[in-house]
Structure 1
Amino acid sequence: MLPFQTLISLDKTLALPVYRQIANAITHHIKNGVLQPCTALPGTREMAEILDVHRKTIVAAYSELEVQGWICVTPRKGCYVAGNLPELKPGEWGQEAPGGYGKQMSAPFNVLTKERQGSIYPPNTPFHLIIDDGWPDTRLAPLDVLMREYRSLLKFKYKNPVTGTVTAGSLTLREAMADYLSETRGIKAGVPHLLITHGAQMAIFIAARLTITPGANVIAGAPGYATASQVFRHLGANMMTVPVDEQGIDTDAVADICRKHPVSMLYVIPHHHHPTTVTLSPARRMRLLELSAQYNFAIIEDDYDYGFHYNSSPYLPLASGQHDGRVIYIGSFSKSLASSVRIGFLVGAEDFIQQGMYLRKLLDLKGNHLMEDALAVLIKNGDISRHLKKANKVYHTRLQHLTTLLDTRLREVVEYTVPTGGMAVWAQFKIPLKQLSAHATKQGLYISDGTSYMAENSCRIGFASLNTQEMEQAITILASGI
């Protein structure tokens, strides 16, 4: 029931009778849409108690409203807002809401971007196929096992949960992660060096917030991960980009910037760089660590695609080497399992993690410790490792199938380099990609028009989430638009 004691304000010192004040207040809320047609009103006795007035006052107010046609009074059934209201026409969707929320806010606020925010996919378009940015196939993920552990913990361990906060994340998950990172990535980090986040994007924001001050110089590859760059710019960074070639980020260009300007932080995706999918060479990895030590800047190492390699064993992360705590390592389980599993992590020096915990608390007071503990069980039991081993074989087969289709169906219009891992192919089109994307949309297929990558006529073709039949349908649609 609506809070009528606050909706109806009475002033018994006014010359206007109290019953008229009540009737006017109810009329006002009906006109403004707070009281919708056919809404039940409290009975006369109940409303009298709510407003602390005599029942006869409510009877008089309701009678006034009934005479004016605002409400209907039915014996033994009650009082209702009239269904056919006078002087009131239903507004169309999108019109300003009188007295409520409309298109614009009257009070001043900070405008962070002129771009309209929303889904990366066009609204109201019935896509039956999506060529994504490079996401996993949730049909392969052991989500049933994850939810089984979730329900088990909910039933037993969390029957009477402790209400305190553990801002760094579930201790059980951090303990499991410490062993997991050591075994799979050679990263020697204990529980005090780990911060669990709500996805990798939160980890990027926290790491950037702690390493960037307004006006600070930040280096990133170009083309690069646009969402991370948006975070850095939002925090006031002066973005300084360097080229990305077949060996990854250009370390000579990085060194040249460092000789001329003080640098606070460098952002790098060493395995399957976004968007070009190239892998940073061993020589450049060593060079980045040398430059970080020489010029004393932090490195944010975003390694979200580490678990997927097809041709050989992966290079160890920068964080596995000697770096005196300058490397902040970020990862996520969104790519290992499903995009809906919003569990990321950040690895850093103990004092850095302490500050990260403080910032995390401001953003998200309590993480999902129940899901984090369930994930810890999958890590300890080896379910994650077995899934990755299986998924690698499936995704490698899908990559081979995609390249065959590109070579046979789109050879004249697409150039690409076969990636050594990851979930997407970086494709350069010889025809206008926006036109091809528009053609695909009409056929129920989504493919990026390249705008979000800041690279003309280029986009990522995600292959992991599509089985071979879906992939053939998608390429057939693209081929029909040439």
Structure 2
Amino acid sequence: MSSPASITLSSYIDFDRSSDKQLYLQIADCLANAIQGGRIPNGTKLLGSRQLSAELGVHRQTVVAAYQELEAQGWIETFPNRGSFVVAPHTATYSKISSNTSSRSSAVYAPHAGFNFKQSNILDNPWSISTSAYSLDDGIPDLRLTQIKQLSRFYSANLKRKSNQKKMERYNSEGSEYFKEQLSQYLHLTRGLQISPENVLVTRSTEMSLYIISKVMLSEGDIILVGSLSYFAVNMVLQASGARIMTVSVDDNGLDTDAIRNLCEKHRIRMIYVTPHHHYPTTVTWSAQRRFELLQLAKQFGFAIVEDDYDYEFRYDRKPTLPIASADGDGMVIYIGTFGKTLAPGFRTGFIVAPKDLMLEMRKYLGIIDRQGDLTMELALGEMIADGEIQRYAKKSLKIYEQRREHITRLFSEKLNKYIRFTSPPGGLAIWTTWTPEINLSKLAEACEKHGLHIPRHLLYQRHDISGMRIGFGRMNEEEMTTCVNLLLKGLADLGFH
């Protein structure tokens, strides 16, 4: 056996105290790689924990924990009153992955697949990432307003409840019947939907809902209508199904139903995607006449309406406009939304409401892509509805968001009135702004980035007939909003607008 004095273990150990990875795991990884690479031979006696901790300048218990980790992985064996010895041969073919690049093997993983596969730019990531101190968005709730303690209390209680433990042992893509019962009642009371739990499918998100709908409803070449300005992520999901997208103009009353009729007379339309409560991105609320006309067109021409009510919870005028689905007696509408949008992201869930026969088919796809489900979360959300916690929290947060809407509209009127036009929306967490055509919005985004304000490209809508930007205000407090507007002014000044 090699003497511990002849093996300088510290030369094989490189760790980073600022890393999120625990120190003892970094040390264990380095030693494991050295053993695997044959740099520490089989049978070598390792330094005692006190001696190695002194060499490395770490606490002795850190070294003890590292040795215990190595022993658990089978690299060393510890004998009382004798010490720790390397027992794994240097030809071992496995190792715990290290986060330290200096200690990794020089082998390189294959950069390219050795076989053909489908490639598409349709699903390229449309979201941009920046390290800027401030960033605009398209209307995101403020996580800081979330009452984490109350949420965790409901979740923890359901996790510990013995009656739920047996349920969690089984795969359950059908979800919690209790939650679906509560959700269907909630949607009936708040949105006028005459539904039962059999009409509800619980998903993870709007995008998952649309993916399932597209698998059941769409075939290669089917035509889908969307607004000429619409939600980019939805268009990506629908196009990925092989469907063909055609656009319809949008005005202050919503989608132009005369244009929809003209398209229906020329083409066989399979589906139309709409956001009538607050059209994305312009935030326009559809008129009652347009909603009625769309439903009549669906009956006449036999196309499905996918109604996305993505921000129904955020209404400031106290005059709720019921969904198109609430007036649908012929099964023409598939209604989707996000429940719990005022809560932390992990507590939100998507849902689909549809006729029972269609729901049977959609459940099959959910059972494939989300077989496990999240039963505990659904039970917690069901209790929050039953206890009125959802309603209380939504009412409280809505007051704050309304104040923020008032603040940002005041800032726009006072500081940006030379450059933009806007209408204060009756609901939602974003404002649609139209800009002076002379301002290149892409260049404005580049200029603002230099001043610490990131403007994601998916917020910008600029072409020959429109120059618009959707600006979310929900995630910013008043001080942050003021700073962002001032940074916008600096960006404009860089472009020569004063």
Q: TM-score range by the shorter chain?
A: 0.7 to 0.9
- Residues 478 and 38 of structure 1: CA distance in aligned 2, closer, same or farther (over 3 Å): farther
Secondary structure at the counterpart of residue 265 of structure 1 = strand
Offset of 1:335 from its aligned partner? 2.6
Answering whether residue 438 of structure 2 is matched by residue 428 of structure 1, we say no
Structure 2 residue 490 is the aligned partner of structure 1 residue 460: no
Distance 1:116 1:193 in 2: 33
Residue 33 of structure 2 aligns with which residue? 36
Pick which of 172-181 and 130-139 moved more.
Answer: 130-139
CA contact (8 A) 2:126 2:458 kept: no
Q: Which residue, out of 132, 141, 144, partners 2:149? A: 144
**Separation in 2, partners of 1:323, 1:212:** 23
Distance 2:445 2:150 in 1: 38
> In 2, are the aligned partners of 1:215 and 1:238 still within 8 Å (CA)?
yes
Sort the Cα spacing of 1:132 and 1:340 in 2 relative to 1 into closer, same or farther, 3 A.
farther
**In the alignment, is residue 155 of structure 1 matched against residue 170 of structure 2?**
no
Partner of residue 239, structure 1: 245
Q: Is the counterpart of residue 473 in structure 1 residue 478 in structure 2?
A: no
1:100 maps to 2:109: yes
Q: Please list, as runs of the form range in 1=range in 2, the aligned pairs for 1:372-391 lying within 5 A after superposition.
A: 372-391=378-397
Q: In the alignment, does 2:435 pair up with 1:438?
A: no
Aligned counterparts of 2:311 and 2:381: Cα–Cα separation in 1? 18
Do structure 1's residue 331 and structure 2's residue 341 form an aligned pair? no
In the other structure, the counterpart of 1:120 is 128
1:44 deviation in Å? 6.6
Match of 2:201 in 1: 195
Q: 1:206 to 1:137 in 2, by over 3 A?
A: same
For 1:135, the aligned partner's letter is I
Residue range with higher mean Cα deviation, 408-417 or 244-253: 408-417
Distance in 2, Cα, partners of 1:200 & 1:293: 25
1:363 aligned to 2:360? no
What amino acid maps onto 1:204 in structure 2?
L
Unaligned ranges ≥5, structure 2: 1-29, 44-82, 91-99, 493-498
* Counterpart-to-counterpart distance in 1, 2:416 and 2:340: 31
Does the 8 A contact of 1:448 with 1:459 survive in 2? no
Distance 1:162 1:311, change over 3 A: closer
RMSD (Å) for aligned C-alpha atoms = 3.1
Shift of 1:436: 2.2
SS of equivalent residue, structure 1 residue 139:
helix
Tell me how far apart the structure 2 counterparts of residues 111 and 352 of structure 1 sit (CA, whole Å).
31
* Residue pair 1:426, 1:459 contacting (<8 A) in 2 also: yes
Distance 1:168 1:403 in 2: 44
Q: 1:291 to 1:381 in 2, by over 3 A?
A: same
Task: With the length of structure 1 as denominator, give the TM-score of the two structures.
Answer: 0.78
Of 273, 298, 307, the match for 2:304:
298
User: Residue 296 of structure 2 aligns to a residue in which SS?
Assistant: helix
TM-score (norm: length of structure 2): 0.76
C-alpha displacement of 1:167: 2.0
**Partner of residue 118 from structure 2, selected from 110, 119, 139:** 110
- Paired residue for 1:56? none
Bigger Cα displacement from structure 2, 408-417 vs 433-442: 433-442
For residues 186-265 of structure 1, the aligned pairs below 5 Å read: 186-265=192-271
1:135 aligns with 2:140: yes
Find the aligned partners of 1:449 and 1:44 in 2 and give their Cα distance: 56
Deviation of 1:217 after TM superposition, in Å, equals 1.1
Query: Deviations for 1:325-352, whole angstroms, at most 9, x for unmatched residues?
Result: 1111101025332334341100001111
Provide the identity percentage: 34
Q: Tell me which amino acid in the other structure corresponds to 1:467.
A: N
Distance 1:426 1:442 in 2: 24
Aligned residues: 412
Match of 2:288 among 267, 282, 285: 282
